Structures are given as structure tokens and as C-alpha cells.
Structure 1
Amino acid sequence: MFLFDEATIGGVLRAFADEARALWGGHCSMRDVWAVASRHNLAGKKGAWQPKSLVDYHPAYRSEGASRSKANLLCRQFQKAAVHYDAARPPAEVSEMLAAGVSGLARAHGWKAANDRPVTAHNVWSALAHRDLALPRTVRRLLRDHVLAGTAVWEEAAWKAFMGALLPLFGPPPQGSESDIADLCAFVAEQKADLADPARRSTKQVQFDDLTLRLGSIHSVKGKSVDGILVLESEVWKGSSADEQCIDLTTVLPRAFGVTDELFTGVRLTAATNVFVGVTRPRELLGLALRKSHSSAVAAAAQEQGWTVIDLTTKVQQN
């Protein structure tokens, strides 16, 4: 359990990463580790300070929903593949992302798979081979050199060079589709990452040495089993009135640790459901991050129950 205040909230993710490294040592690069929040998009600054969203903990984070209209662009899909590749994710995940992008490009050119079926990520390589046996190998080599090993998805000049090599393999666009294909193949710049750390390739993950900490909403890990997870205190918002908003961990943890026996309804029940989803995902490491100003009774109960409580505000004062 990590306790923080406005001055120390920026150190929460690193503190969790330190605990993960202490637990897994040299195996961190092979672990699936997340930091999640009930609310993960940008929130307003009205009223007294409180951690309203994941952005308060990592200002560079931006949810996919912030640019949903660009989610299916070729550059965005290849960016995801590059991020997964750099994070040593399973090769099958990376391959599927690359195949999804290529299949979209093939469909935009009017190509079909066998028996006039639509080209998909599952049949794209056979569809390309049907046109030219050497084509799948040629496209894969370009993806390896420019996307996985190169900088095409992060630098516009490199992207244009990549497109200059890739697009001719698909021939001229069908008449009337030139504009759509140009839009599909446009460079997407805003996901290039945190300007304070140019090496950080994604605003949806943070790299701490060999540990990749993936960021997202609690909903993004629903149904998954992960090695470790940090649930970040954030706002649950269902309306503009006071009884339609709450801060999830502040609301839920007193009941969870036996400090109160309050029953939850309305937005508070939603908060409890969110927290339950988050804390039941990890196999080995669970972290909770909450404001020190709202933690005294909960932190004491947690320590009695065997939890490690790390007070980041005290560490700052000692330094």
C-alpha cells in the first residue's frame, strides 16, 4: 500500500516498480505488470486537489479513446506492434497486430482472399501469396526493418520512406480510393510519447530499467490474469451532483479492511465493483495507492493484516 500526497503522487509508479523489481529481480522483463485506475482519461481541475484519473500519476498518459478516430490507422496499429515488441510481449501478439494492419491495407486496395472472402489478419499472408509467392516475405522484411527494428512509426521522415517502399507492392489504388488510402496511411504523431523522456515510446506504458509497467483503465484488464497490478486511487463519476461522484479507494477500502461495515449503493457500488475487478487480477503482486490524508485507519488495519505500507510523503521529508 502506497501513501502519497500532491507533492509525491508522481513517485507512485516508480515506488511500485521498485517493489516489483525486489520481488522478481532479473525476471522483470518477462512479467506482465499493470497500473490501472477507474478513471484513466483527462479530468478537470475544479475544486480541492485529489487524484481524479491515471493522468494525475503519469501526465504523459493518454487513453486510446482520446483519439478513437485514429485507432485503425496503419501507423497507429504498427505503433502498438512496436511497443509490444519492445516490451518482449509474445511474438504471436506482435504478429497479429502487424497482420491486422497489412490486412486493412489490402482491403483498402480491393484485394480479396480465396473464394472471394475478405482479407483478415488470419488469412492475409495466404492472400498475398496468392498474388505473388514472394510478396509475404517481402512485406514481412519491410515490417521487421522499418517497424520493429527501425523508427518508422515514431519519425515522420522514416514513416514516409517506409510507405515509399510498402505501397508500391500493393499497386496503384483503385480509382476513387486514393484519398481513403492516403488517410489510412497517414503518419500519427501524438503517440510518440513523453517529451521529458524521448526514449519512452508509448504514452500507455512506462519503462523502469527492465520492467515495463503498462497503463490503462481497470476495464482494460477485466477478465485478464496478470503477474502484478497497482490499483491507483481515482474518481468514479456518474453525474455532476455530489452523490454521483466518489474516489474509489477512499470509499471502498474502509469496508474492505474491516474499518466500517458500510453497504454500498449507487456510485459507491460502482466504485466497489471496479476495485474488486482490479484487485482480483494479479497472480503475485498487488499494490494499492491512496492519499495519506484519507488513509490513517485503513493503513493501520492493513498493517495488522500483513500488508506492507510505504509512506512516500515520509521518504520525501527524510530526503
Structure 2
Amino acid sequence: MTEQEPLLKIGLPKGSLQNSTLDLFERAGYRVNVRDRSYFPTINDPELSSVLFRAQEMSRYVEDGVVDIGITGHDWVIENQSDVHEVCELVYSKATSKPVRWVLAVPEESDYHKPEDLAGGIVATELLQSTRRYFQEKNIPIKKVEFSWGATEVKARLVDAIVDVTETGSSLRANKLRVIDTLMTSTTRLIANKEAWTDEAKRRKIEDLALLLEGAINARGQVGLKLNARRVDLDTILGIMPAAQSPTVNELADRDWVAIEVIVDVTVERDLVPKLKRAGATAIFSYPLNKVIA
């Protein structure tokens, strides 16, 4: 018997997004094993093969068909001006679930206060083409936009300004930098090669993968909550439940009692449980969720 040929080649981001991406896949049901010094992780799905690429170059490899699908930031799709199909938005990043921002920043002590003040100046960034387009669209004559190979925050005091990515703003504050404009915001995306997207079998597999990844993201910060209650207390207990939720209510062997189950935000749970207990609920327990699919 010959080994099954993988249906899809997927590009996974190497670097800052790698660990959070592997965790997302784990919660979606895909165990990805990255061996030391290997760029070809294994996945517990015979229809998938994978390779690690830097997020900055992912969209080019997807466009060229080196891989069928890939995970990268929308910022790098824009930067590379790649012609790919955007399957879905996956709102997660290295540290938070917030979009990242590419900002124009200067030292706190700088005399520059708006982008126009940088006319004739030098700006360092990794987002080279988008930064050039930004100044061109604003008709600001920049002397030079130079590529930064890393540690861009440090270069803010060697050139006139930097364009750098920020998620929480902590690095900017630590380096005493001041933001004078935002070039773009970006979230992580699942993108597909356009030819792969038109292949019926590949498209179905891509859609299935997207559904599970989105479900894993939807489950973050939510828990399942189960409890028992006397039927006479049911209306009171349901009245305590979040209005946006629709609990499942099942009869128990003892017809004077019912079982209730609901999904709630973890921050809601901590306030909700004591209220439910005081209202007569018993056998209350919560459990983590891997996926929530609408």
C-alpha cells in the first residue's frame, strides 16, 4: 500500500507567531510537531503537509503556488502586493488578540510632531514598500526610506524616524518613543493560492480547516458551565443568565430537577457562579472549550 499523498501544502509562520499558531492548531485538533532545526513540521492529518516560512515572505510563496495556503499578517500581503485569496481572518497574534499597528514614531525629545515634519528626512523600517507608498500618497518628499534588519526601535535616534510594528506599545514606551501617525492595522489571515482555491477537493479541505481554526479562536476566553436546579427555581436562575445566551435545559430522572448548560465568557463566569449558587443551583462546574462553532 502506498502512502497517501498530502492534499494540501500549508505554510506556517516561523518566528514571533509560531508558538501561538501551533497552540491554535492544537486547539483546532491538529497536532503539529516541529523537530529541532527542521523546517518541515509533521501534522496528524495525512491530507496536510507543512513548511515553516517567515510571515514576511509567506504571501509570495502562496501566490507562486509553493504552498497552497498559508498563515500570515494582512500587513505582509499588502507589503508584497500579493495576488492571493483571503480565506478568513484569524484574530490572534503573539501576545494578545488585538490587531497590530504599524506606526510612525520618533524619540520623545524630537521636534517632529507630524508626518510633514519629516520632509527631507530618513526613515528606517522593515515595512519598506508600504512606508514609501505612505509618504508618496501624502506628497511628503522623504530623503530615504531604508530597510531595517531588526532592532528598529534603537535606530530611532540614529535616523529621523522609524516605522515599526506594535502590539501592546510596551517596546515603544521602553525606548521612549512617541507615535505621530499610524500607517495601518493588521490581523492574521489564512490565505490561499488562487488555483488551489478553485480546486474543489482542496477548497473543501481549506474551508474545513478554516472552520476549525475560527472555532478555536471563538472558544478563547469562554467556558462551558453546567449546573442542576430545582424546577421551582428555574425561572429565577434563567433570569440570572446573560441575556445574550440561550441555555440548554434538560429534565433529570427526578422530575423536580433540571440540568442547565450554557457557554459564557470567563469574566462573566466568576460573577455568575456565586449568584447561581445563592439562587439555588447545585452541582455547578465549568470546563474549558477547544472550539466554539456557530
- Please confirm whether the aligned pair reaches a TM-score higher than 0.5, indicating the same fold: no
Higher strand proportion (structure 1 or 2): 2
Length-normalised TM-score, structure 1: 0.25
RCO comparison, higher one (Cα < 8 Å, 6+): 1
Relative to total residues, which structure has the larger helix share, 1 or 2? 1
